[in-house]
Chains A and B, each alone.
Chain A
């Protein structure tokens, strides 16, 4: 019996959690319990209470409201960057696996070069020349992860290209695109989906680091990574400042990875 229909099914559990987070994030753009930017000097660094379940920050702003108001930014960075790396990295990786000549070598050497630079430096390089914006942060973070996707897609495809069903396609005289799209891609999804789940969470954290350096979303924005970065100086007095966005990020991470794992299993015809 499969786990389908039960709450233990990772796709179902992850999907529900993701949907809840997404709905709250969209609602948070317009409505939050308090004004996320309203100062309340007397409530500075207040511990969690019923009125402020996640406490307040150094300006007395309600942390819950801030987490809700910033959620859409974090989701946009996480999923946007993942999509950028996926859409650029996978085709390049497949191509690099298929072409054993100069093109494949060129793609891989470029990927090696990009991977050898620290991600922050690479992000800086992209963002430093022009004023920061959300779209550019997404693009920059996404580009940082392209080489990782390239290498993964290539490694998976290299193994699959040895399989006999690919030889059968060659025996039909099929071209590179047809073999990659019809024969390789359907089999390459599982590890790529799992990697995508990881990339979403890493992207949010890298986005936060860029914010910290002044190259991502800027205060008073309440993007989660930025909130965690800002809470650093109050960690001993008000740990809830880091805890609230941290827990949300953690829930998102678990939900994304569970969904990825569930999708991987569901897409496998030999499963269930």
Chain B
């Protein structure tokens, strides 16, 4: 694949030698509050013309810093490198002249990358007017062509639109068109799909892959998501705390990782079809104000030995691979230690929480449309769907945190009124997505945990003991009681959020994207914790997530939501393997999995589209629509086995299998 784009425009190839991006010994230091932070420490990587490199690692590993260094956008940081060159030009001095021209970037959040006050056309044409000095009409035509190239429909009409009129995926395509306007040879991508739904992400990845083949673009992809790196890249460089741990071909590194850190990252990934415990990487990033002269992963490494305190060099390890670990060879056949087994969950009991025809409308959008769902005692019900499908609203309705327009809610057999009793509040709690906003930054952990104890009269004689018990429950040291949220890591904050929800000894918890904002290794630890708590305490959960792999890992049953309605509901194994409903199939096939090579269904349109209220909500995007029936009549519920129902016009046939 990489050979396709060897012809590089711009005359930067000299004497037949192929020069792409080449970075050697890149070091970046920031002046921090507690001293100089060594964000990058002698990092090497290279992207040949037409090649694609993925930079992976947890947050704080320095991936984005490396990218900003290439663009010369690090401001007052100290940037030093033995060599940082692109096409023969020294980036240490010429980066400002190259960025936006030979080198362009696409960032994570398309909403903030576009100026909300200017039309799309103006923003795409601007680099053509300013950099390429094209006449206005020509620039306009070229901009429309770029929008068409990024797969946007009706580019001429789109040129007149403002960013708020576009969906997230369309905005990211516009951002890509803007990046292409400078006719770059190298495209830097900083988590380009992290803010998008998987179905939209799949389309963007296809687009990037196509651009690379068509234009001979080189891509440098920064991502925490190993699945999309696997899908898009030839080579991968694993960064940890500012140092390269491992570099090599993607299939090799992700298929047979050699460095303990890479192995830990892969062991922490939830995968569809596997229910055994995930192996989190213990510990947290080291203090980057005092770089460890030896291996800086040593404190977290299960294979650490005394010689790891010596400086480690990147050493060749097989064909085209380098690894920074002196034990990589001898460890090749050691497995990453398995996590302690999760205690088996007790069988689910009687229905605890049941909704009947629950509905909520926001202005023109029916966010939740006649939803009837039940969660049994001790059961985890996964709720999956794209953003805008109404899953968060449904969670809030079930806790009476948002008012429903119609429908009823039953909890433990009794009706829950719109203003529920304190007893209901005590028994039904919530864990939030974003650990940074879930905790009051002005309260200590002890105050945060004490509030529900006081509120529900559970403190009894000794609140301090109860707080210590809660901290122990979520595996935090009792000394954390005196800390403020900013003194905790993301995973620790999320544990405090879970402890707060557990403080009232609830029977039912809504986990709203509770692990989505966490790094893979931390996510694994929190998922294990939730699985363990659920088994030990007999908790019932509504586990809301856009990540079907996480749901498949934790949930007993899964409900798939689209356009405010439940499309399919049933036991995880029965719903996902193989998928029946076309929407479930599309969701599942879009998930970028490491080593996954399944056919993809890219859905047209986006999930936020307003629906007329008649027919199947999914009909307009459905790849298997059978005709006008789908758009005219509400689909019936069909029985697909024990506890498994599907809302679809397509009859369930035994031979109906969506290819995987």
Contacts and interface: CB of A to CB of B under 8 A. Distances in A.
B442 A168 contact: no
Nearest to A174: B455
Interface string B353-386: 0000000000000000000000000000000000
B596 interface: no
A164 B443 contact: no
A171 interface: yes
B484 interface: yes
A173 B422 contact: yes
A43 interface: no
A171 B455 contact: no
Nearest to A188: B442
A168 B401 CA distance: 9
Interface string B429-455: 110111001111111000000011001
A172 interface: yes
Contacts of B456: 172
Contacts of A220: none
B437 A164 contact: yes
B420 A171 contact: no
A265 to B, nearest CB: 12
Contacts of A171: 399, 401, 425, 428-430
A118 interface: no
B173 interface: no
A174 B500 CA distance: 15
Given A164-B432, A269-B442, A269-B486, A169 B451 contact: yes
A164 B420 contact: no
A167 B432 contact: yes
A169 B433 CA distance: 16
A174 B399 CA distance: 14
Nearest to B440: A165
A99 interface: no
B432 A172 contact: no
Given A169-B451, A173-B420, A269 B484 contact: yes
B358 to A, nearest CB: 18
Nearest to B504: A172
A173 B455 contact: yes
Contact of B452 (A172, A269, A270): A172
A187 B425 contact: no
Interface string A169-195: 111111000000011001100000000
A24 to B, nearest CB: 36
A163 interface: yes
Contacts of A165: 437-440
A170 B401 contact: yes
Contact of B440 (A170, A172, A187): A187
Nearest to B420: A173
Interface in A20-41: none
A186 B442 contact: yes
Interface string B470-485: 0000000000000010
A269 B442 CA distance: 6
A140 B657 CA distance: 78
Interface string B403-440: 00000000000000000101001001110111001111
B484 A186 contact: no
A173 B425 contact: yes
A168 B430 CA distance: 7
A149 B442 CA distance: 22
Contacts of B430: 167-168, 171
A170 B434 CA distance: 17
A253 B186 CA distance: 53
Contacts of B422: 173
Please indicate which of the listed interface residues A165, A171, A172, A183 has the most CB atoms of chain B within 10 Å of its own CB.
A171
Nearest to A162: B437
A9 to B, nearest CB: 15
A107 to B, nearest CB: 23
A182 B456 CA distance: 16
B496 to A, nearest CB: 11
A224 B78 CA distance: 50
A182 B430 CA distance: 19
A238 to B, nearest CB: 48
B518 to A, nearest CB: 15
Nearest to A183: B440
6 contacts: A164-B432, A167-B401, A167-B430, A171-B429, A269-B442, A269-B486
Interface of A: 163-165, 167-174, 182-183, 186-187, 269-270
Given A167-B401, A167-B430, 14 more contacts: A164-B433, A164-B434, A165-B438, A165-B440, A168-B438, A171-B425, A171-B430, A172-B452, A172-B504, A187-B440, A187-B441, A270-B441, A270-B484, A270-B486
Interchain residue pairs A-B with the least CB separation, the first 10: A186-B442, A270-B486, A173-B425, A164-B432, A269-B484, A164-B438, A165-B440, A164-B437, A163-B437, A172-B455
